Each structure stands twice: as structure tokens, then as C-alpha cells.
A = this chain, B = another copy of it.
Amino acid sequence: MSAVARRQACNDTIGVDKGQLDRLLGYAIARANFVGDATFHAAVRDRSVTPLRYAMLEVVGSNPGLLQVQLGETLALSRPTVTMLLDYWQSHGCIERRSTPIDRRSFGIFLTAIGSARLADLRACACVHDRELSLGLTASERAELKRLLDKLAGTAN
């Protein structure tokens, strides 16, 4: 049984008490996140492209030449994590590390032609996925959910 199927079956589970879990905002967020993650692979039709890998390619594409440490800051990732994410995309021919003349310790990260095409495709898939994710919500509900999540992430300590 797949994760998605399990999640659906779980919604139908009756007679089992989750204790205070159902009153916790954190649990509701985790559950929504689980749904988004579980359906992402199918949406991009490539099990190896995870939401985070896609996010990294998105930031690289929007900021040519950014240093690895800056990519990490943007997505709140440690340096080793950035290294591994970029290793993945480099091994797939989608990005390249270019030495910078200013500081020879660091690299500027750039999309390749292959990477540009891949990103364009993934962007479209991610948009479709995101729309499907909120199919049960009205447009205004979706907007309000987005606003509240952004506010929470921006103000939480």
C-alpha cells in the first residue's frame, strides 16, 4: 500500500482516538505537509525529484551565480545539505559550479541549458500539484490559508 493510499485510508479510520493530536495545530500542519509530499513525486513523474530538490533548483534558476552559502541561507539549509542537493543536480547535468575570480574558496551556481529546460518542466508540474493540493478549498480559503501559514512562519520563534 502506498503512502497516499495509507493517508486516505487513515482519513476514514473510525473508532480510534488520537488523544489531543486532533487539537494540535502542529499535527494539522504535519498532516497537510505529508499529503503535499506524498503527492509531489507523482505530480513531477520522477520519484527522485523531492520538494526540496525542486526548491533548490528554483532558487538557483532565479538567482544565477549565487554562492552555496547564500543558497543555504535562502532555504534555511546547512552547508552539507546544500552540497548534497547541488551534487544531485550536477550529476544530472542541470547545474554547474563556476569558480569565482573574487573568492577562490567559493563557487557561483548556474543552471545549464538542460537545467533550464528541467526547471521549466518542474515549475509547470509544481503548479499543477499545488492547485490539486487545494482543490477542496475555495479560492479565498486558499488565499487565507496561505496568508496564515506565512504569518505563522514569519512570527514563530
A→B interface (CB under 8 Å): 1, 3, 6-11, 13, 16-21, 24-37, 39-40, 51, 55, 58-59, 61-63, 66, 70, 72-78, 123, 126-127, 129-130, 132-137, 141-142, 144-146, 148-157
Contact = CB atoms under 8 A, between A and B. Distances in A.
- Report which residue of A28, A77, A153 has the largest number of chain B beta carbons within 10 angstroms of its beta carbon: A153
A152 B126 contact: no
B126 A20 contact: yes
A111 to B, nearest CB: 11
A19 B135 CA distance: 23
29 contacts: A3-B76, A6-B77, A7-B76, A10-B75, A10-B76, A11-B153, A16-B63, A16-B66, A19-B62, A20-B123, A24-B126, A25-B130, A26-B51, A26-B129, A26-B130, A29-B32, A30-B51, A31-B149, A34-B153, A35-B152, A36-B156, A132-B156, A133-B152, A134-B152, A135-B156, A136-B151, A136-B152, A136-B155, A144-B144
Contact of A155 (B3, B135, B155, B157): B135
A26 B35 CA distance: 9
Given A24-B130, A35-B156, 15 more contacts: A11-B153, A16-B63, A16-B74, A18-B59, A19-B58, A25-B142, A26-B40, A30-B33, A30-B51, A32-B156, A133-B152, A134-B156, A141-B148, A141-B151, A144-B148
